[in-house]
Amino acid sequence: LPAGLSQWFPALEVLDVSGTGLAELGAELLALPQLHTLLAKNNRLGGPGSLPKGLGQAPLGRSLRVLNLSGNRFAEVPPALLELHGLQSLSLGGNRLHSIPPEIQELRSLEFLYLGGNFITSIPPELANLPFLNYLVLCDNKIQSIPPQLAQLHSLRSLSLHNNLLTYLPREILNLVHLEELSLRGNPLVVRFVRDLTYNPPSLQELAGRTIKTRNVPYAPSDLPENLVRYLSLASNCPNPKCGGVYFDSCVRQIKFVDFCGKYRLPLMHYLCSPECSSPCSSASQSSTSQSESDSEDEASVAARRMQKVLLG
C-alpha cells in the first residue's frame, strides 16, 4: 500500500485492494479512523507479516466493520483478527484453513461469517457464542459433524453446509426456529436408520438420579451436596414419547429421519435413555416405511415443521 495513505485520504471509509497481488497490508492502514470496509480478496496474503501489528488497538481496529480476505493463503485465522470486536462481517473463504479457533467467540458483533472453500474438519462449540450471527457459510470443507451447541445461534437465518462429509445432523438443529435457508447438498447423509450399538451401563449415581427424577422424589438444595444438586439439574428427557424417562451421561445414540416441510427427509441424531427405547435397525431402502413414519407426531417431527424453508439442491 502506498505510504502516506492516511494523510491523503483521512476520511476514507471503503478500501478495495482485491486482486492486486498484495502479500501484506501495511501499517498505513492503522491510522484510518473512519475505514469501515476493507476488501482484500484474491491476493497473496497469508504469510508472516501479512497483517500490520497492533491492528486491534489501532483506530482501524475500532472502526472496521467489514473485512473480506477470501482467496488468499491463510493457513489459520490470524490472531489479530480476533481482536476486531466491532467486526460485523468476516470472509475468509478460499484460503487454507484447517480449523476454526475457539477464540472466534470474541467477535461478539459478528453477523456474517464466510469460511467456505477451506479444509476445515470440525466446528468448535464456541462458535455458538455469537449472539448476532445471521449467516454462517461453511460449505466446501471437510466437516464431519455439527456440534449441537449451534442450536444456541438463535439469530441464525442461513446455514450453508453443502459439499462436506456430514452423515447426520444433531436433532438440536430443529431449535433454530428463525432458520430460513439450510443447504446440505453434496453430503453423504445416511439413507437408513443407524443405531450405535455401544452402550455404557449407567453408573450408580445416574441410576439414583434417574429414580429421583422419574418418581418425582422431593428434595431441597439443603438436603444434598451442591455438586449433586447441580448434577440433578442436568437431566435430559428421553425423546421417546412412550418412555418418559431421563438420562444424564449414559445414553444410546440413534439416527432418525424426520420430515421437513413434507418434502425432504433428513437424518437427525438423537439420544435415548436406554437400548429398550431404541427401535431395531432397519435394513430397508430409503423408500421403505419405518417407525419414524408412524410416529409422525413425535417431538422431532413437530419441531421440524417449524422450519420455513430448506434448501437441499
Do 160 and 48 reside in the same domain of the chain?
yes
Q: What is the DSSP letter of 311?
A: B
- Quote the CA–CA distance of 92 and 215 in Å, as a whole number: 52
Q: Is residue 284 part of a domain?
A: no
Q: From residue 116, how far is each of 80, 98, 142, 185, 280 by CA, in Å?
A: 20, 11, 10, 14, 38
**More confident call, 2 vs 24:** 24
Q: Is residue 276 part of a domain?
A: no
Q: Is residue 88 part of a domain?
A: yes
User: The domain that contains 87 carries what CATH number?
Assistant: 3.80.10.10
- Quote the CA–CA distance of 26 and 29 in Å, as a whole number: 6
* Closest to 160 in 3D by CA, of 130, 131, 180, 184: 184
Return the exposure string of 75-96: e unless at least 16 CB atoms fall within 10 Å of the residue's CB, then b: eebbebbbbbeebbbbbbbbbe
Q: Which of 194, 217, 246 is the last residue of a domain?
A: 194
* Closest to 182 in 3D by CA, of 155, 162, 152, 154: 162
Q: Is residue 272 part of a domain?
A: no
Q: Which residue has the cell 482501524?
A: 60
- Quote the CA–CA distance of 239 and 300 in Å, as a whole number: 8
Percent with pLDDT over 70 in the chain: 77
**More confident call, 197 vs 176:** 176
Q: Which of 147, 168, 194 is the last residue of a domain?
A: 194
Q: Is residue 94 part of a domain?
A: yes
Do 39 and 154 reside in the same domain of the chain?
yes
pLDDT at position 115 over 90? yes
Do 213 and 170 reside in the same domain of the chain?
no
Do 41 and 94 reside in the same domain of the chain?
yes
Q: Which of 194, 228, 244 is the last residue of a domain?
A: 194
Q: What is the pLDDT of residue 26?
A: 82
Q: What is the mean pLDDT of residues 214-238?
A: 87
Q: What is the mean pLDDT of residues 105-120?
A: 97
- Of the pLDDT bands very low, low, confident and very high (cuts 50, 70, 90), residue 28 is confident
- Quote the CA–CA distance of 101 and 220 in Å, as a whole number: 41
Q: Is residue 184 part of a domain?
A: yes
- Quote the CA–CA distance of 247 and 210 in Å, as a whole number: 7
Do 68 and 148 reside in the same domain of the chain?
yes
Q: What is the pLDDT of residue 168?
A: 82
Output the average pLDDT for the chain.
Answer: 80
Select, from the ranges 16-20, 223-227, 249-253, 265-269, the one with the highest average predicted confidence (pLDDT). Answer: 16-20
Select, from the ranges 19-23, 169-173, 182-186, 305-309, the one with the highest average predicted confidence (pLDDT). Answer: 19-23
Do 90 and 117 reside in the same domain of the chain?
yes
Q: Are 60 and 30 in contact (CB under 8 A)?
A: yes
Do 88 and 231 reside in the same domain of the chain?
no
Domain of 75 in residue numbering reads as 4-194
Do 159 and 58 reside in the same domain of the chain?
yes
Q: Are 121 and 100 in contact (CB under 8 A)?
A: no
Q: What is the mean pLDDT of residues 185-197?
A: 59
- Quote the CA–CA distance of 40 and 21 in Å, as a whole number: 10
pLDDT at position 291 over 80? no
Q: Summarize pLDDT for 257-286 with one digit per residue, the tens.
A: 555 554 455 666 667 777 777 543 322 223
Q: What is the mean pLDDT of residues 126-153?
A: 95
Do 151 and 89 reside in the same domain of the chain?
yes
Say what the pTM is: 0.68
Q: What is the pLDDT of residue 298?
A: 44
Give me 218's grid cell.
422431593
Q: Are 312 and 261 in contact (CB under 8 A)?
A: no
pLDDT at position 102 over 90? yes
The total domain count for the chain is 2
Q: Which amino acid is at 130?
A: L
Q: Is residue 303 part of a domain?
A: no
Do 165 and 35 reside in the same domain of the chain?
yes
pLDDT at position 65 over 50? yes
Q: What is the pLDDT of residue 8?
A: 66
Residues whose CB falls within 8 Å of the CB of residue 87, separated by 6 or more in sequence, listed in order? 64, 65, 66, 67, 81, 107, 109, 110
Q: What is the mean pLDDT of residues 218-237?
A: 87
Q: Is residue 291 part of a domain?
A: no
Do 207 and 143 reside in the same domain of the chain?
no
Q: Summarize pLDDT for 196-225 with one digit per residue, the tens.
A: 445 677 888 888 888 888 888 898 888 888
Q: Summarize pLDDT for 72-100 with one digit per residue, the tens.
A: 999 999 999 999 999 999 999 999 999 99
Lowest mean pLDDT segment, chosen from 97-101, 135-139, 222-226, 293-297 = 293-297
Lowest mean pLDDT segment, chosen from 64-73, 144-153, 159-168, 232-241 = 232-241
DSSP string, 74-127: -SS--GGGGG-TT--EEE-TTS------GGGGG-TT--EEE--SS------GGG
Do 108 and 126 reside in the same domain of the chain?
yes
* Closest to 71 in 3D by CA, of 107, 38, 30, 39: 39
Cα-based angle 46, 52, 55 (whole degrees, multiple of 5):
115
Give me 9's grid cell.
485520504
**CA 67, chain centre distance (Å):** 21
